[in-house]
Structure 1
């Protein structure tokens, strides 16, 4: 079995290509005409969690845009970490301020430029890949992990309070780690 470091190195090109594909989804939650794209992003996230070895993956409806849940709960007696993030993005206007199309990722000087690259698609992709690498290297995790990714953070998460209340047993954890925020 490879170490997690070796696994990441051996799969770096695949991970890079997957992230670029994810960034191409125009999941703008504020625009009704992009609702299908937000749904498509949710389905992409669910598939990626499954590929990583996460279990019980589901796209869960809300009164607005969906959320995605998945878990790996095979560390009895160990803490449960819930990793939070979002797969929706801000609108792209004004377009004339962009050097390239917002949903066509560009790699320049070792950085990826695209709408959502650092808020929050890139950030939420990191823990998915990290868990995959650990599972591939060790066959298990040292803690229990839950993922909850939403599709409406950029519009203030209007349905998330009701979602959390309705799914409090599913979301119960010892600590929440937010994968949201700039990475520059």
Structure 2
């Protein structure tokens, strides 16, 4: 008999309360191969991210016949209600975790990701580099006034970031503009 052709009893636990809020039987074959990578799912009209899975692999779930998923509800808010302290973001919140001080990661302009960025205090898409940099300077000054752990630096023109805060106000390796403060969370 194929190990993946039977049901696994899945228990869903709310990470905020610690309590189980649902359970379901699922085919082992329908589970992801591993929960070691970022996983999210949709339950009862809400999006949830997996904080922890026990066991962590499909094979272990199939063998035990059980899976407990500790979930955190993904909360969103309208982008025009968000106050930004930088112009760029990375793809994932924890992208800085495995970067060395001499490594750089690509960033994405926030104004390309949200509707009506001007209402959120961001430059218009297509704004020239000088306008973008002026806006980023103001935001960086605010961010620099608040000591935040794990901040790094970025260039809002070249769209790159580094974890090395010692590079703050040093020249960007690509365009030469001063690097500005960048938050990873």
TM-score by length of 1: 0.25
Name the larger-Rg structure: 2
Higher relative contact order (CA 8 A, sep 6+): 1
TM-score by length of 2: 0.25
Which of the two has greater helix per residue? 1
